[in-house]
A and B are shown apart, each in its own frame.
Chain A
Amino acid sequence: MTLALPQTVGIPVVRARASIWRRARTRESATALLFLLPLFVLVVALIGYPVYRAVWLSLTDKLVGYPERFVGLRNYAYLAQDDTFHAVVRNSLIFTVGSVGLKIVTGVLMALVLNNVIRGRNFFRGLFLLPWITSTVIIALTWRWMFDAFPGRGFFNSVLLDAGLLRRPIAFMATPEGAMMAVIVANWWRGFPFFGVSFLAGLASIPRELYEAASVDGASAWRRFWHITLPGLKHVMIVTTLLSFILTINDFNIVYVMTRGGPGTATQIFATYSYQVAFGQLRWGRGVTICLFVVPILVLGIVLISRYLLRDRK
């Protein structure tokens, strides 16, 4: 005979279990929160507060040494009408798109070559990483010297003159186009190894069988590259490009060391113009606003790419 427990007895047992469960969960949550707290503090202190300060400063007429006064969107309105800033936006986009574009192409080439090198692969991988690990200032000074117009000093001019291909040196950096080309080349040279190494890792994850099957089906090398390699590298390429785009559009060192934004304003970009306004003219509010202008573009890019990647994953 089994005794049925009265329902009034069962309810307190269930409640007691639920209560224990809740307490345990609360304890767990508290522990989790405790562990998360340092990270939360770090995120607020290192990301949240600076971003808040930057946005706030952009809404003030803050001058160095003076208290800030709220001026609403006046800095944004000023920059929207500032002809120098228009040039800065144009230059920054040309500089970034040009540099990143070159990095993608050469990065793919580097990865393809290194992927097929059997002997000394690690040596070449290390060699190609040299530009990536060299100080940016050294890189900028070196490229400045290479583009120098004086024979016997500028590398390109010396070589071309000695080879009899030129009669008079070319002043590469004297024109807006030449100066922009020079800073793009220097930025490209510094950044392409990052692309190359990332793409090489991406290539390693593409199954060999795909290439073998394609070869059996008679696909040419170009078609194998176009239909297997590129799609296989797509995700790595998008992430690398996005990261490089963010780093390049915020670059300062190369342009500042090589051209200071000149000739005229031909290579003035967001960071160098912001520096001039904030530290030269002492207008911090306006200087911060120059940099914040780029944030919506970057946020939009990040959102679009994230959605694209997530959609692919689904």
Chain B
Amino acid sequence: MLESRISRRSLLAGAAGASALLTLPRPAAPAVKKGTSLKLWILKTYVEPTNKAIEASAQRWAQKNGATVTVEYFTFEDMQTKYVAAIESNSTPDVGQLETSAPARFAGMGQLVDLTTFAGQIEGQVGKAPAAVRAVTMVGDKVYSLPWYVMGAFWYAWRDVFEKAKVKLPTTFEEAKQAASALNRPKDNFYGMGQSWNRTADGYGVMQSLMYSNGVGWAGKDGKYKSIKTPAMQNVMKWATDIYKEGIQPADTLTWTGSGNNENFIAKNIAQTSNGPSITFALENALAKATDAKDRKAKEEALANHVALPHPAGPDGRRMWAIAMSFGIFKTSKDPEAAMSLIAHLLSPEETVAVMKDSYGQFGPVLDKARAASKDYFNKNDNYRTFGRAAEWFAPTGWPGPTTAAAAEVQASNVLTDAPAKVIVDRWSVDQAIEWEDKKIKEIYDTLKG
């Protein structure tokens, strides 16, 4: 019964979406020679249908143009390793999906084709990305990649747990901490929060959201080093370490690797955590695989009770670090024209929406027309409405300045999360940790000249 209701609704939504898409323009693409062969590298996420949808979209382009596209995947884990090896061995792909920091780093190495003119043409047809997202793709006034989507991290909470304890869902980091204290039940092995300062995006991503929302950036608007030895940074560090000192998190939170927060949240061991929409994907998927009526009921409840909120705000507003994915063309490409054609195809609103529909909310389109076309999809429920707004709150690595190679290295060097770990594990003072972090950041900027 429920299934038939959902399927009818999906059908109507699909029909409405399809008719809307027919009116959308497809960006004009450079001509492609028959028999062209391209290599495309894309990110493989936990949401397998998204990976397949991107691959299928690329193959549609190949079929239409009598070309071939070889799709290769990289994961969050081996993204850097794979690109580094390819750059050093001169075997980069024609088109590569690039994460937030990659355009600045690779363009600085002279690896990427200048796409300024092409970007202008594309933007003229399918619109621009929000300024903060666009900034990720540029070095100076030149554009080196074209933004496609933002994969945001959100503040997940169990609504039923909050309601039962009559605690308000948090809108700020301070409220999140207070809620964690109110919901904490260590005797039952249930904790108010689970935020790890580990060496994954779950660690350094949230740390950046926390810093930027407190108005702390390690670079100025010009992208040059700026000291973080400020009272605002002390607030950041205090929040980051108090959540450990106050016992409102499981004792092993700091040791969680990539999936620790997902597992603990889904197992209802913690009341709140930050994560990408893969938690929603897991819960939706679990419901689809429910074995009997009892199991289905439990999974429906879990799905209904999990809330994805935007990352909490700080005294300086709400700024969410996220993974902004774009497409770049490598200079080793033998056919950059064909590569541009493939990118134009993938960025078209209809292809973007087709991929997005298989993403369980983790794929937030950024170009104007694709965003407009995705409104119905993100209207599914409150969680999806929040997912759909990821680009609005996006703050890039190195905020308030542009994402530079130095800013990217600060993130990659793990100093952002090692600093609170020094307070929590090595019993350093907050001031000592900030002093250490600031010194490390300055050192990076000094050697890379910003």
* 8 Å CB contact of B88 from A64, A151, A263: A64
Is A94 close to B, CB under 8 A?
A: no
Whether A64 lies near B84 (C-beta < 8 A) is yes
* 8 Å CB contact of B198 from A64, A262, A282: A262
* 8 Å CB contact of B87 from A65, A149, A171, A265: A65
Known: A65-B106, A150-B189. A171 touches B111 (CB 8 A): no
Whether A263 lies near B264 (C-beta < 8 A) is no
Is B414 close to A, CB under 8 A?
A: yes
Is A266 close to B, CB under 8 A?
A: yes
Alpha-carbon distance A61/B446, docked complex (angstroms):
14
Interface residues of B in 252-282 (CB under 8 A from A): 252-255, 257, 264, 267, 269
Residues in chain B near residue A277, CB distance under 8 A: 413
Residues in chain B near residue A169, CB distance under 8 A: 189
Interface mask (A84-128 → B, CB under 8 Å = 1, otherwise 0): 100000000000000000000000000000000000000000000
Alpha-carbon distance A261/B250, docked complex (angstroms):
19
Alpha-carbon distance A264/B421, docked complex (angstroms):
5
Is A17 close to B, CB under 8 A?
A: no
What's the minimum C-beta distance from A286 to chain B, rounded to whole angstroms? 10
Residues in chain A near residue B109, CB distance under 8 A: 63-66
Is B315 close to A, CB under 8 A?
A: no
Alpha-carbon distance A171/B444, docked complex (angstroms):
35
Is A181 close to B, CB under 8 A?
A: no
Whether A64 lies near B87 (C-beta < 8 A) is yes
Is B429 close to A, CB under 8 A?
A: no
Known: A65-B109, A264-B422. A173 touches B186 (CB 8 A): no
Residues in chain A near residue B257, CB distance under 8 A: 260
Is B305 close to A, CB under 8 A?
A: no
Known: A150-B267, A262-B421. A179 touches B80 (CB 8 A): no
Whether B422 lies near A261 (C-beta < 8 A) is no
Alpha-carbon distance A287/B257, docked complex (angstroms):
23
Whether B414 lies near A259 (C-beta < 8 A) is no
* 8 Å CB contact of B255 from A66, A262, A276: A262
* 8 Å CB contact of A260 from B84, B187, B199: B199
Interface centre among B80, B88, B187, B264 (most CB of A within 10 A): B80
* 8 Å CB contact of A65 from B110, B186, B252: B110
Is B20 close to A, CB under 8 A?
A: no
Residues in chain B near residue A278, CB distance under 8 A: 84
Residues in chain A near residue B84, CB distance under 8 A: 64, 278-279, 282
**Who on chain A is nearest to B81 by CB?**
A279
Known: A262-B198, A264-B422, A281-B409. A174 touches B254 (CB 8 A): yes
Alpha-carbon distance A289/B106, docked complex (angstroms):
24
Q: Tally A residues with Cβ within 8 Å of B.
A: 36
**Who on chain B is nearest to A66 by CB?**
B109
Residues in chain A near residue B198, CB distance under 8 A: 260, 262
Is B426 close to A, CB under 8 A?
A: yes
Residues in chain B near residue A151, CB distance under 8 A: 189
Known: A64-B88, A279-B84. A262 touches B424 (CB 8 A): no
Is A175 close to B, CB under 8 A?
A: yes
Alpha-carbon distance A171/B159, docked complex (angstroms):
27
**Who on chain A is nearest to B254 by CB?**
A263
**Who on chain B is nearest to A275 by CB?**
B81
What's the minimum C-beta distance from B20 to chain A, rounded to whole angstroms? 43
Known: A171-B250, A282-B84. A263 touches B414 (CB 8 A): no
Alpha-carbon distance A74/B267, docked complex (angstroms):
49
Is B418 close to A, CB under 8 A?
A: yes
Is B372 close to A, CB under 8 A?
A: no
Whether B414 lies near A65 (C-beta < 8 A) is no
Residues in chain B near residue A27, CB distance under 8 A: none
Alpha-carbon distance A179/B255, docked complex (angstroms):
9
Is A168 close to B, CB under 8 A?
A: yes
Interface residues of A in 262-276 (CB under 8 A from B): 262-266, 276
A-B contact count (CB 8 A): 95
Whether B418 lies near A265 (C-beta < 8 A) is yes
Is B288 close to A, CB under 8 A?
A: no
Whether B105 lies near A282 (C-beta < 8 A) is yes
Interface centre among A169, A265, A279 (most CB of B within 10 A): A279
Interface mask (A13-52 → B, CB under 8 Å = 1, otherwise 0): 0000000000000000000000000000000000000000
What's the minimum C-beta distance from B368 to chain A, rounded to whole angstroms? 33
What's the minimum C-beta distance from A107 to chain B, rounded to whole angstroms? 29
**Who on chain A is nearest to B409 by CB?**
A281
Whether B255 lies near A259 (C-beta < 8 A) is yes
Known: A150-B264, A173-B255, A179-B255. A264 touches B110 (CB 8 A): no
**Who on chain B is nearest to A263 by CB?**
B254
Interface residues of A in 120-174 (CB under 8 A from B): 148-151, 153, 168-169, 171-174
Alpha-carbon distance A64/B81, docked complex (angstroms):
11
Whether A280 lies near B251 (C-beta < 8 A) is no
**Who on chain B is nearest to A172 by CB?**
B252
Alpha-carbon distance A263/B447, docked complex (angstroms):
28
Known: A263-B421, A263-B424, A282-B105. A174 touches B251 (CB 8 A): yes
Whether B87 lies near A281 (C-beta < 8 A) is no
Is B298 close to A, CB under 8 A?
A: no
Is B412 close to A, CB under 8 A?
A: yes
**Who on chain A is nearest to B425 by CB?**
A264
* 8 Å CB contact of B409 from A175, A260, A282: A282
Whether A264 lies near B87 (C-beta < 8 A) is no
Alpha-carbon distance A179/B251, docked complex (angstroms):
13
Alpha-carbon distance A84/B110, docked complex (angstroms):
31
Residues in chain A near residue B250, CB distance under 8 A: 149-150, 171
What's the minimum C-beta distance from B358 to chain A, rounded to whole angstroms? 29
Interface mask (B174-194 → A, CB under 8 Å = 1, otherwise 0): 000000000000110100000
Alpha-carbon distance A283/B441, docked complex (angstroms):
15
* 8 Å CB contact of A281 from B199, B200, B252, B412: B412
Is A176 close to B, CB under 8 A?
A: yes
Residues of B within 8 A of A (CB): 80-81, 84, 87-88, 105-106, 108-111, 186-187, 189, 198-200, 250-255, 257, 264, 267, 269, 409, 412-414, 418, 421-422, 424-426, 436, 444, 447
Q: What are 18 A-B interface contacts by the 8 Å CB criterion?
A: A65-B111, A66-B109, A83-B436, A149-B251, A150-B250, A150-B264, A171-B252, A173-B252, A175-B425, A176-B425, A262-B198, A264-B254, A264-B425, A276-B412, A276-B413, A279-B80, A281-B409, A282-B105
Further pairs besides A174-B251, A282-B105: 16, Cβ < 8 Å: A65-B111, A84-B418, A169-B189, A176-B426, A262-B255, A263-B254, A263-B421, A264-B254, A264-B425, A265-B421, A266-B425, A276-B413, A276-B414, A279-B80, A281-B412, A282-B84
* A-B interface, 5 closest residue pairs, ranked by CB to CB distance from nearest: A65-B109, A171-B251, A264-B421, A171-B252, A280-B412
